Amino acid sequence: MRDVAIIGVGITNCGEIWEKSMRDMFVEAGLAAIDDASVDHIDSMYVGCMSGGLFVGQEHIGPLMADYLGQAPIPATRVESACASGGAALRCGYLDVASGASDVVLVGGVEKMNDVSGDDATYALATASDQEWEAFNGVTFPGLYAMMAVAHMHKYGTTPEQLAAVAVKNHDNGSLNPVAQFPMKITVEGVLNSVLVADPLHILDCSPVTDGAAAVILCPADMAAKLGGKTPVKIIGSGHATDTIALHSRADMTTLNAVTKSAGKAYEMSGKGPKDIDVCEVHDCFTIAEIIVSEDLGFFEKGKGGAAVEAGDTRIGGKIPLNTSGGLKSKGHPVGASGVAQAVEIVKQLRGEADKRQVKGAKVGMTQNMGGTGASSVVHVMEVM
């Protein structure tokens, strides 16, 4: 397998982007990444998108985006793994370059979620769970993650204040990110006094419904070294794993097997461990998700994730800064794009281009992107070249 590097990144504003269509947003992010990489051609494309069909009535998204990006007739493939679609697309692009089939690959992600009603968005998102056994019976994603939160609180003593601390930290980071959907700072009291969606999760424990797109350009590491563009970032570990799609099929709701397995593979391949990671974007679709994932990635002892965030260990300047971008919570969660947006943030951090949210001296970064209640997880470890 050839070594692979990221040589360009691009991202749109995240939020309610009424003036742009799904294809407009993808093209904006794609062109930004191509410009950032200073490449004159692309050999193939992968597009992460969760549900073009339900959100905007459009499938066949790979060729659509290649066409509008002016790249047809190159191969273009849409990849879906619910909210981990972007991470899964990144892995497909990585394998394409690693195999030798393509040299310059664009991996993008996009979701246009605000063109349907709130009810329809809730239905579309619920297709990431087991429809026959979960969603059709009425449970929604806040409900599923609330069950995980209650189990974690019961087993480990995690508190509502600790959940709220995740949101507060991510909004603090998001306030430093110009593309964030909700850059306002919030407080623990504010979270606890916000509307209860599914006990114990308040609305400020939940990531928003977001329009947005992100893209990265990959090429072989040796080519990246010769191109002489911006500092390349090498993908040194790639792990992808799955779990039962239904929450009720799992032995333990307080840990996510797909996260543990995907991280284990990425760590093994990279020769790095949790202690070597300088900055990490994790899948904080709900505050409890960030706590569980921070434990399952090995950053904290099992059950201590809540105390860690409360102690400031996951802040910029802390032991392991998580979600410097503001995460899905504050930056926003355009589901199919989120995994690619994570890679954009880590590349900026490792290049030293993260402005006020820069983690000083960051050399090794990681992304962890998750689908549903963790039925899929994709982890990439990256190192500055």
**List of residues contacting its own copies (CB under 8 A):** 1, 21, 23, 44, 50-54, 56-64, 66-67, 71-82, 88, 91-92, 95-96, 98-101, 123-124, 127-132, 135-136, 238, 240-246, 249, 257-258, 261, 371-372, 375-376
Q: How far apart are CA 21 and CA 18, in angstroms?
A: 8
Task: Tell me whether residue 333 is one of the annotated catalytic residues.
Answer: yes
When the beta carbons of 60 and 356 are compared against its own copies, the nearer one is 60
Q: How far apart are CA 7 and CA 27, in angstroms?
A: 18
Which residues on neighbouring strands pair with residue 259, listed in sequence order?
Answer: none
Residue 313: name the closest of 178, 162, 160, 190 by CA.
162
Taking the CB of residue 343, how many other CB atoms lie within 10 A of it? Answer: 29
Residue 163: name the closest of 324, 294, 254, 291 by CA.
291
Task: Give Cβ neighbours of residue 332 (< 8 Å, ≥ 6 apart).
Answer: 14, 15, 180, 181, 182, 207, 208, 210, 212, 326
Widest Cα–Cα separation across the chain: 56
Q: Which of 14, 49, 83, 280 is catalytic?
A: 83
Q: How far is the CB of 68 from its own copies (least distance, A)?
A: 8
Q: Which of 152, 171, 202, 333 is catalytic?
A: 333
When the beta carbons of 69 and 288 are compared against its own copies, the nearer one is 69
Q: How far is the CB of 315 from its own copies (least distance, A)?
A: 32
When the beta carbons of 61 and 180 are compared against its own copies, the nearer one is 61
When the beta carbons of 3 and 161 are compared against its own copies, the nearer one is 3
185, two tokens: 């700072």
Q: How far is the CB of 220 from its own copies (least distance, A)?
A: 12
Task: Tell me whether residue 283 is one of the annotated catalytic residues.
Answer: no
When the beta carbons of 270 and 325 are compared against its own copies, the nearer one is 270
Overall residue count recorded for the chain in this entry? 385
Task: Give Cβ neighbours of residue 14 (< 8 Å, ≥ 6 apart).
Answer: 179, 180, 181, 210, 211, 212, 331, 332, 334, 341
Q: How far is the CB of 88 from its own copies (least distance, A)?
A: 5
Q: How far is the CB of 22 from its own copies (least distance, A)?
A: 9
Judge whether 107 and 215 are in contact, CB under 8 Å. Answer: yes
- Which residues are marked as active site? 83, 333
